[in-house]
Amino acid sequence: AQSVTQLDSQVPVFEEAPVELRCNYSSSVSVYLFWYVQYPNQGLQLLLKYLSGSTLVESINGFEAEFNKSQTSFHLRKPSVHISDTAEYFCAVENTGFQKLVFGTGTRLLVSP
């Protein structure tokens, strides 16, 4: 069975500092990988996705994630965070063709001035 591990439940960081949110998954088959962001009392929004092709994927607001098959990881990074990036971030995985997402437990990013 698939599983997703987000080891950090909370990551505090100062504004304009770099950040990395870690995500590891377990699966014996090919996967699709996703990062979703959730602002307080809201639903989830897709941040970026890896389906195939280039292992480095980027979002429109400066986040990027790299698919590393050998390490079964899909870490999320941003070189310089803003206060508005404060939110909870969820990593999710789907076995190709399996039609269901499995989510990690989430990482709360806290950006302070």
Partner 1 sequence: DGGITQSPKYLFRKEGQNVTLSCEQNLNHDAMYWYRQDPGQGLRLIYYSQIVNDFQKGDIAEGYSVSREKKESFPLTVTSAQKNPTAFYLCASSMDPLAKNIQYFGAGTRLSVL
- Interface residues with partner 1 (CB under 8 A) are 9, 32, 34, 36, 41-46, 49, 51, 90, 94, 97, 99-101, 103-106
Question: Please, what is the minimum distance in Å from the beta carbon of residue 16 to partner 1?
Answer: 29
Tokens of 105: 């437990």
Specify the residue, 43 or 113, whose C-beta has the smaller distance to partner 1.
43
Where are the strands (E) in the chain, listed by range?
A: 3-5, 10-14, 19-21, 24-26, 31-38, 44-50, 56-58, 64-68, 73-78, 87-95, 102-103, 107-112
Specify the residue, 49 or 113, whose C-beta has the smaller distance to partner 1.
49
Question: Please, what is the minimum distance in Å from the beta carbon of residue 43 to partner 1?
Answer: 4
Helix (H, G, I), strand (E, B) or coil at 84: helix
Specify the residue, 9 or 71, whose C-beta has the smaller distance to partner 1.
9
CA distance 26 to 18: 27
Question: Please, what is the minimum distance in Å from the beta carbon of residue 95 to partner 1?
Answer: 10
